[in-house]
Structure 1
């Protein structure tokens, strides 16, 4: 697969095109924010990095970013076990990783720019509330509710009413997570950036918006395709 950048591409342009590459740059101590207006080759040279290895790391992020097949017809025709496996691999693991990687950026932006942009303090509060709830929610799905749904699918559930009640509880948690995301969107004025936004500031808004989209698709697969099979 060809990648949309070369050794001559500016570091900041790579992050703008694919925000998750910021994790690669952070790990390699490349300043993609204030010092991002230099070619990738220059950044590698300044940090004594092997250019080929750096390109490979970025290529891996790019390949993993390819959108999963989320065609609705595919999932409506899939069995419940297949959907559950897809949700765990394609949404739970990805969400957990993103919440971990994004946390220090959210904290840094609120600390550095919070005095001039108090909305960032609210964003920080809402993000960590969302993070805590989603981690607990996904653990509950994997450890308790998904096994119950697998039993429902196989007609082996010992207590159908309990299983359905747990599914309804998940839907309520989805509603609350969605409300937190709506508050983040509202307080950021639809992720509108101020004129003085630095690279990290831009990165946080872009990744928060991507996280919103990831969460909405996750919830869609469950609320609109998986759960209705077992509740009216």
Structure 2
């Protein structure tokens, strides 16, 4: 992804184009929500923020998001060890980081706008259920399942049937996660923003929708490429 903003671009427009830049603005205490209708240069000047450093940090977000794009065709011919490493570094680490970063925004929006938009209370509930599920799920894969899969590369290993039970369990968890995401999409009317949505409201919906797509690719890589290798 190429940076399409300059020092004169409005802060809110930068966040609208790449929602994860909100983390950078939050770190610098730059108001991207109600006060986001000002050029980036003015926002930096008002808070005596180093403009070069700010631009560098924003650029880093763009590069990271570009690198997060995945080509599934590459992995069909890769070794299981390579796929496991990719899932751990690319999907697990990124998902856990995004859940941590997104949590305060979801909480804030539900508290501020929950009275006038009660669906946000359900969004809050579903998001934290999803977060809990993914934290536990990734930990199980990292600590138990992935080490077992690596051992199964040895054709002489006994008790190979044990991994089938784990894979079946993981696939059920994938189904549960998918149902949570389905409910989130339903309760938000396909992430359609109301007319009175503020900047934080907008970025929550955009980042939730992006998280949905990222999770589907994560599950696809496991369910359709990695796990079938051990179910034959």
TM-score grouping bracket, smaller chain normalisation:
over 0.9
Distance 2:2 2:176 in 1: 40
Distance 1:175 1:49 in 2: 45
Which runs of 5 or more residues in structure 1 are unaligned? none
Most deviating of 62-71 and 50-59: 62-71
Which runs of 5 or more residues in structure 2 are unaligned? none
Please tell me whether the aligned partners of residues 87 and 218 of structure 1 are also in contact (alpha carbons under 8 angstroms). Answer: yes
Corresponding residue for residue 165 of structure 1: 165
Question: Residues 41 and 128 of structure 1: is their aligned pair in 2 closer, same or farther, counting only changes over 3 Å?
Answer: same
SS at 2:211 equivalent: helix
Give the number of equivalent residue pairs: 232
Provide TM-score, normalisation by structure 2.
0.97
Corresponding residue for residue 52 of structure 1: 52
Please tell me whether the aligned partners of residues 130 and 177 of structure 1 are also in contact (alpha carbons under 8 angstroms). Answer: yes
Q: Deviations over 1:107-163 (max 9, x none)?
A: 000000000110000000000000001000000000000111111123354421111
Provide TM-score, normalisation by structure 1.
0.97
Distance 2:190 2:136 in 1: 27
Corresponding residue for residue 140 of structure 2: 140
> What pairs with 1:120-135 in structure 2 (closer than 5 Å)?
120-135=120-135
Corresponding residue for residue 92 of structure 1: 92
RMSD: 1.3
> What pairs with 1:71-220 in structure 2 (closer than 5 Å)?
71-155=71-155, 157-220=157-220
